[in-house]
Structure 1
């Protein structure tokens, strides 16, 4: 029997708190899960620094990847006798779902921003490069690894396959909303996924929803909206991300200066500092190693690096005020100079952080980042764009919300001996509104 058709002698299951069970029968899927590249995802948290806000958020990219696989498995089981569904794409969909987050690094998006990396690029490189993942996929058929990489890159010719893991209502979002809600303990991310799966229908280039399932989709979209503003953009989590980013920036700056000698040579970071990251080096770096360096850097000679690491490791985070740099540039410049006068480096201790999200978008042809809207199948089999039929979705459709905050170490300001200088800084900060705690 061909490798792609091989089944395990008995079904394997992973006990899962969100989906109850994750079912595996395909030999290919079982072998992919066992690879070092996939097992590495156990050492990458799904939500980065969010555990400093919601202490239960310790789940990993491994958890999430299995969950996305399980949702896609259920979707295509429901599609089995539907027109427009090509059964030959089944294994491709399962592999792409399982491997879609394979290239995430430690602390994911914060890490990417500092070193100008792209996890989707590394996902594709792991799939098509010299890895165990690649060898398994090529056993399915020559060129199969490239097909999986193309699905994840959204360049695969069958857009229906792509839409299962990358659209405005896909398996990726349906898993992370529920999983992140479960582990953070909030109620926002819960919606009737089983209902949505039952009303999904395949058409030529995307998944559509039976009109009778519209209210379940409305609930899903509002869940996503609430999760972004109550969990993903939580100001305490963002404070931790600000410090994390500044640690990495400082370490990179010290390395580039050539005048500073680390007590512990940052060998795992050198290729990242130099912008020459090779795949094998990327795969060796996980969050346990990053934490090891942060722990060690608390003993370094550089005061800024030492202080930032101690803050991150012991959760002594920055306070924040509402602050829009587009409207308050004069105050920003004044604060920057005052921080310098106070001997507090504003490059590391005065940080504007902005968050923005577009909860649902209608079709905008030709625009960058163009996203297909969700379509409803009406009783007469016509398609109707969701926001044209749902008052709830119409109210938020196409409306991007942006939030700006200014982060700073209030403890350092409180310790200033120059009362006049301290009062000037506090007057500007408090003038923007209440200084918020991060506890």
Structure 2
């Protein structure tokens, strides 16, 4: 179905540190940006607790979403200019798909909650499911804007997020191993963290993308630019996304919310300064309106109240989080993992509740995932296809020794988190033997 969208009288632009200008020509895109639900993304940090490690990482889901839209817009422009469809079914780009692709790119993260992934784990939410709800619910401004295009348009946009949209080119533009989402967050996160790992030649990659019947491929002469992109992604995960200090702050945040939830369940809201906006989540009875009221600022306000709470654990964790006192960590392996219970017991024996002051945290990522039909039930091929001059397709890792070295090689580590006092005790004379025993199991930042 062809969807008609009104053009703005004059193109509008957003000045952007990554893409220079973000160009908007459709009225529906401006209307979506102006909705309550999209403006809420200004109040949710893109990298959550990573801002405690990389002080420049204050950028938001709002700026990232605009960036994903801009990359998708540039892909659509390139496809329409260089690979326009000549007849139905030829596998080239049908520009009637532009509007649904751009709206999906803009809205792909609209369902993120405060402190995103930490919040999801505590309250059993899923940002992609909430993205679909916000897009399809008649109660939202986003839905009203989309329905003005056509009654079924919100469902079409949502199906791109769900990866069920019938055109694989549109789906892969937003969600694949070399998509608008990943390209923007790598560039944006590298810029704002001050690191250089995520810098790659996005202009070259966009130039060598092309549509085909089953999605999007890269041309063989652009393979090296994509190699660089894969390596950049690997480096960003190792040096930024998996940083042990950021994870230490995330552990405190997780335990802080868990403690507040337990106090509410055990004693009622008056014991935690009546966190009105969190009550529906403590009770697991919340709807879209409850969800949209939350952002990072709401949680931070409650944390300020909890700094003076009567509960020792809640008060202490709130102060540690706001004052940036991350838990320390050591790496452990499968061989040393049996010692974890002993280490937790030592932490508890000096007065810390092990349920709130210890944690194991595993962070692993697959830098590049080559398709394995035997282990894939979706039928969706996640790998990057390279198109040769004669039109044949080859999976990227079969052509690139660099990507092959990273292919299906999971990277990351397992860490045990605990209060820094275990390594730098204040009450040395009282608990000296316990501290000494704890430290005897630590060598070069690892559990031995």
Q: TM-score per shorter chain, which class?
A: over 0.9
Q: CA deviation at 1:372?
A: 1.8
Aligned mates of 2:36, 2:332 — CA distance in 1: 44
State the distance in 1 between where 2:160 and 2:359 align.
Answer: 37
Deviations 1:169-207 (A, max 9, x none): 000000000000000000000000100111110011211
Pairwise CA distance, 1:119 = 0.2
* 1:424 is the counterpart of 2:434: no
Alignment partner, residue 411 of structure 2: 401
Query: Cα distance, 1:435 vs. partner?
Result: 7.2
Q: Which moved more, 1:400-409 or 1:331-340?
A: 331-340
5 Å matches for 1:10-409?
10-81=10-81, 82=83, 83=85, 84-129=92-137, 130-258=139-267, 261-324=270-333, 326-365=334-373, 366-367=375-376, 371-409=381-419
Distance in 1, Cα, partners of 2:338 & 2:5: 66
Please say if residues 3 and 139 of structure 1, whose CA atoms lie closer than 8 Å, have aligned partners that are also in contact.
Answer: no
Instruction: Tell me if the contact between 1:79 and 1:201 (Cα under 8 Å) persists in the aligned partners.
Output: yes
Counterpart Cα distance in 1 of 2:47 and 2:353:
29
Distance 2:291 2:191 in 1: 30
User: 1:94-148: CA deviations, max 9, x gaps?
Assistant: 0000000000011111111111110001100000011110011011011100000
More off after superposition, 143-152 vs 81-90: 81-90
What secondary structure, in the 3-state scheme, does the structure 1 residue paired with 2:325 have?
coil
| 1:342-386 deviation line (CA, Å, top 9, x unaligned) | 221111111111100000011122436865210111011111110
Are the equivalent residues in 2 in contact too, given 1:106–1:285 (CA < 8 A)? yes
Contact 2:242 2:412 in 1 (8 A): no
2:88 corresponding residue in structure 1: none
Classify the secondary structure of the residue corresponding to 1:140.
coil
Secondary structure of 1:225's match? helix
- Look up the SS of the partner of 2:271 in the other structure: coil
Note closer, same or farther for the CA distance 1:59–1:259 as it changes in structure 2 (3 Å cut).
Answer: closer
CA distance in 1, matches of 2:377, 2:308: 46
Equivalents in 2 of 1:263, 1:233: separation in Å? Answer: 32
In structure 2, distance between residues paired with 1:251 and 1:349: 14
Q: How many residues align?
A: 432
Q: Tell me if structure 2 keeps the 8 A contact 1:3–1:28.
A: no
Structure 1 gaps of 5+ residues are none
Pick closer, same or farther for the CA change 1:333–1:53 going to 2, 3 Å. Answer: same
What TM-score do the two structures reach when normalised by structure 2?
0.93
CA positional deviation for 1:316:
1.1
Q: Which moved more, 1:255-264 or 1:61-70?
A: 255-264
Give me the TM-score of the superposition, normalised by structure 1.
Answer: 0.95
Question: SS where residue 261 of structure 1 aligns?
Answer: helix
Query: 1:404-426 CA deviation, whole Å, 9 max, x = no partner?
Result: 11111122661241222222222
